[in-house]
Structure 1
Amino acid sequence: MAFNEQEEAKVRELLAAFENGKRINELDPAEGEPGAMRIEVMDASGETRSMELERAVAEAGNPIAGRWWANDQATPTAGGWFGSLDFLRLLPETLGLGRYLVSDDRQMRKLDPRDSTRFADGSPAALDGSMGQCMWCWNRAWYFTEIVTAARTYWAITLKPLEGYKSVKIPAGGTSWLGAAVMDRTEQKLCSLISEEERYRGGNGSALTLATNAKRPALDTPQATMLGMPATEISTTNFGIYARKRGEGWEANWFVAQAAEQILLAVIMGTRNLQAPYNAEKDADGLYQGGFGTGVTDMPDWNGYNAYYSVIPTSVGLEMGDGTGLVDYALPASEAAEDQEAPYKTFKVPVFFGLVHAGYGHLWRWTRGLTVSQEAGVKTEVYVAKSMYADFNPNSVEGLLKVAECPQKEGYIKRVSTNGLCMMPTEVGGSASTYYADYFWTNGASQTGLRVRAAGGRAHHGANAGAFATYANYAATSASAYYSSPLCVFVDDPEID
């Protein structure tokens, strides 16, 4: 095949360029700042593209585990991942997510990932508090960064601050793997342990008589004796007082621990709707997909059964270790049932790398360190404490940091503020299957005063429940049969600035 004159000229130019090409060590030194330089990279699509040199260097030494959501779409499912696929796949292992026993001086001792009754070295582990508190932990500090562009919202988890963005540090720490509180009634101290001893009796500390309840369980069941059950009917203020008796670094569901749980669930599972159907299979990228289903949110006639007290014992899910999946729990039949062998209800209890209930359902979780200030019909403001190690007064916003404003009408959550890790709704108008897919309750339109956040929903909230569900109707002195507050711990002060 013969070339024409123009084609021959192009071939000569290409040969000349090839012969005159230089090795990297023969090139002149680059001039200017690294932020103005670009390099050639092959991205996840396999296409060759350019990237800022400064960003490439930063991300190579600080990989990102991230998910993104399209701003113009209502789906709670992430549109995709970004950063390092390997880092996202290995995030639970990298952060050391799982079950630990933590001593009062905050020393973490890892339990066997497959058997929570043993330590990782194979030696026996007592879960009755004598060897430490039963905690679901991340054993290293990490950073959360939200990046919002015109088209997308990105949630990033890194091990160092993300250059050029506002990254918030979450120190090594954790929360009760039980998803609820246990009270030492003798010492009036908040715990996270598994025991049927009377000193740890759940509920309000007394057995239930349930004399008028038509569907009551037998009075020797945990749902009536409250032995081995979570503690409830305590205000968020008192939960905090009882938690701090363990020493510095301990609290009752401090808002940073609550936020960490929500962030990890959304990024690892790839959805903001944790009640999406459970899918044991990973996607084509080897990532988790889907939620955990209904969980413990569809309890029928809860009041008639045991007057809204807890129905799931603290031992449920123990056999899962650090696993992720669903555990069947059969609720004892009511005394009035003809078939006493048939359960009143069988729940599929979610477990997320050892965290029972996966952040939603069963009992509301009071959240400490966050105060909602509302002026009826005018505005609702959200404040957070700058330090957990300092004293905290839930009856004032003095010294707190304003981080967001909430709508004064309730509804399904459409947008959430991550500012200061408050994780509070800033817009409603979604549904049970769109955006955050969880509900926001408020009485801001009609009542003035200070309120606290309860998170997660309770055992008969159905589709309204979820990790992002928020109830902001009550003051810090409120207490009820279906409110608890899991113990949490931080090795360093989770400061917000």
Structure 2
Amino acid sequence: MAFTEEQEAKLTKLLAAFENGKRINELDPAVGELSAMQIEVMDETGETHRMELERAVSEAGNPIAGRWWNSTNATTKAAGWFGSLEALKKLPETLGLGRYLVADDRTMRKLDPKDSTRFEDGSPAALDGTMGQCMWCWSRPWYFTRWSDGEGDKWAITLKPIPGKKSYRIPVGGVSWLDAAVMDRTEQKLCSVISDDERYRGGNGSARPDTDPKKPAANTPQASMLGMPATAISTTNFGTYARKRGEGWEANWFVARAAVEILITVIMGDRNIQAVYNPERDADGLMQGGFGSGVTTMGWQEWSDYNGCYPLVPTNVGLEMGDGTGLVSYSLPASEGGDQGTPYKTFQVPVFFGLVHAGYGHLWRWVRGLTINQEAGVKTEVYVAKSMAASFNPNSIEGLKKVAECPQAEGYIKRVSYEGLCGMPTEVGGSPTTCFPDYFYTNGKTQTGLRVRAAGGHAYSGANAGAFCSGAHSAATNAGANYSSLLCFFAEDPVIE
């Protein structure tokens, strides 16, 4: 085969380049800042591309499980992933997400991923508190980092801080997998147990009176409140009852709440937790979508007539899911005078790697360690406690750290701040299907004073509910039939610097 003159010239240049090539130890030392240096890499597409050397070194020892959202539009679905696709796929496994029994000294014992009534070694596990509290945990510490750049809003979970950025450390810990409170009425301690013993009677600690117009039969959990979450307790008292368990225990400390919101958002890749449930993985093998309406479709009057807006879903619902993710169908018993063959209402209860309700719907969740200071018509400020180990007074902002300002108008959320892991809205004006598609409730325009956060919404919230939903209109002394909290713990103090 004969070459043209042009081809011969190119071959001559290639041969000269090969002969003049140098070994690495023959190259001149590089000059300049590390941040300016680049290397050639072959990525997952099989093609070669350039990459900043500093980033390559950092991510090799600290892979990023990240999602990013396009800041130029209001779409709730992540525009893509970044960092390590493998790290994102394996994030639940890496962090050890799932159900554990946790003793008061915070010793954690993993339950079988497919059967929460036994431990990993096959031995039986009691869920009545005698072997520990029923907790949904992450078994290793992790960091959350959020920033915006030319691509958009980036959320990253790593095992070490990301150099040059503000990373928040989440110590080993967890929350009640029931996503609501249980009260030991004998010892006045906050619990996370599954039991229909009178000692743990839910609601306000009493059976429902025989006055609800559409009451269920007296032997049902919705009437007896046996085996149901505890409500009608203020956030202050929930915190007091949680701390009776000892060091490291609290009632839905804001860092624990932030961890739930962040993990669901990054793993699912959608800010709309009420997006249609999709059990299939996307083209990259990642989870996608949300969990649908969940337990949010109960009309207010319907709920009030049924059982006075007290808990609807027993604590044992979703038990069979283990560490699984999906929906569990649950039907409310018929009204006492209604057709006993027809349920009063049926819900599709979300479960996220074992966390029942997935942080939204059914009952509001009081959040501790976060105080909202509002001056009517002027401004609404958000403060967080720097330490969970110290005492916390929700009636003062002394010693707290200011991290954000909220709008004084209600509305669907457009922006959320995670400064100090507060998870509070900073702008409204969105919708049920855009931005952070949950509702912000506030009375900041007309009332002055200190407020606490309630998170997630309740059975009447409908599209307003969600991971980012916040009620900021209640004082720390408030209590309600549809307000609960949840036991949480940390292996070490979740300090906010």
TM bin, normalised by shorter chain, reads over 0.9
Give the corresponding residue for 1:68.
68
Matching residue's letter, 1:269: M
Matching residue's letter, 2:166: K
User: Which secondary structure state, in structure 2, belongs to the residue aligned with residue 81 of structure 1?
Assistant: strand
Give the corresponding residue for 2:113.
113
Q: Cα distance, 1:477 vs. partner?
A: 0.4
1:20-67 deviations in Å (ceiling 9; x for gaps):
112334333434443332111233444432222121011000000010
d(CA) in 2 for partners of 1:90, 1:151: 24
**What is the correspondence of 1:11-160 to structure 2 with a 5 Å cutoff?**
11-160=11-160
d(CA) in 2 for partners of 1:412, 1:44: 38
Give the corresponding residue for 2:363.
363
Give the corresponding residue for 1:215.
214
User: Which secondary structure state, in structure 2, belongs to the residue aligned with residue 366 of structure 1?
Assistant: strand
User: Which secondary structure state, in structure 1, belongs to the residue aligned with residue 288 of structure 2?
Assistant: coil
- Give yes or no for contact 1:72–1:151 (8 Å, CA) kept in 2: no
Give the corresponding residue for 1:320.
321
Aligned length: 494
Give the corresponding residue for 1:374.
374
Q: Cα distance, 1:397 vs. partner?
A: 0.5
Asked whether 1:384 is paired with 2:384, we answer yes
d(CA) in 1 for partners of 2:494, 2:415: 24
* TM-score (ref. length: structure 1): 0.98
Q: Could you say if the C-alpha distance between residues 122 and 382 of structure 1 is closer, same or farther in structure 2, counting changes exceeding 3 Å?
A: same
Greater mean deviation of Cα atoms: 52-61 or 93-102: 52-61
d(CA) in 2 for partners of 1:481, 1:181: 12
- Give yes or no for contact 1:328–1:346 (8 Å, CA) kept in 2: yes
Asked whether 1:255 is paired with 2:215, we answer no
Give the corresponding residue for 1:453.
453
**What is the correspondence of 1:207-356 to structure 2 with a 5 Å cutoff?**
207-211=207-211, 213-300=212-299, 301-337=302-338, 339-356=339-356
d(CA) in 1 for partners of 2:186, 2:153: 48
d(CA) in 1 for partners of 2:178, 2:219: 22
- Give yes or no for contact 1:210–1:307 (8 Å, CA) kept in 2: no
User: Which secondary structure state, in structure 1, belongs to the residue aligned with residue 450 of structure 2?
Assistant: strand
Q: Cα distance, 1:164 vs. partner?
A: 1.0
* TM-score (ref. length: structure 2): 0.98
d(CA) in 1 for partners of 2:36, 2:213: 74
d(CA) in 2 for partners of 1:60, 1:151: 22
Q: Cα distance, 1:348 vs. partner?
A: 0.6
d(CA) in 1 for partners of 2:296, 2:259: 22
d(CA) in 2 for partners of 1:444, 1:42: 53
d(CA) in 2 for partners of 1:470, 1:56: 39
Unaligned runs of 5+ in 2: none
1:131-182 deviations in Å (ceiling 9; x for gaps):
0000000000000000112440000000000111000000000000000000
d(CA) in 2 for partners of 1:31, 1:121: 56
d(CA) in 1 for partners of 2:248, 2:353: 23
**Percent identical:** 73
Matching residue's letter, 1:290: G
Asked whether 1:488 is paired with 2:488, we answer yes
- Give yes or no for contact 1:253–1:486 (8 Å, CA) kept in 2: yes
User: Which secondary structure state, in structure 1, belongs to the residue aligned with residue 489 of structure 2?
Assistant: strand
Matching residue's letter, 1:328: S
- Give yes or no for contact 1:364–1:457 (8 Å, CA) kept in 2: yes
1:429-475 deviations in Å (ceiling 9; x for gaps):
11111111100000000000000000000001110001110000000
Greater mean deviation of Cα atoms: 447-456 or 52-61: 52-61
d(CA) in 2 for partners of 1:247, 1:29: 58
Alpha-carbon RMSD: 1.2
1:327-375 deviations in Å (ceiling 9; x for gaps):
01111000121x2011101111000000000010000000000000000
Matching residue's letter, 1:400: L
Asked whether 1:198 is paired with 2:198, we answer yes
d(CA) in 2 for partners of 1:2, 1:403: 70
d(CA) in 2 for partners of 1:113, 1:412: 37
Matching residue's letter, 1:243: A
Matching residue's letter, 1:325: G
Matching residue's letter, 2:390: A
Asked whether 1:163 is paired with 2:160, we answer no
User: Which secondary structure state, in structure 2, belongs to the residue aligned with residue 473 of structure 1?
Assistant: strand
Q: Cα distance, 1:480 vs. partner?
A: 0.2
User: Which secondary structure state, in structure 2, belongs to the residue aligned with residue 341 of structure 1?
Assistant: coil
Q: Cα distance, 1:252 vs. partner?
A: 0.2
Matching residue's letter, 2:381: E
d(CA) in 2 for partners of 1:17, 1:380: 66
1:212-237 deviations in Å (ceiling 9; x for gaps):
x2211111110010000000000000
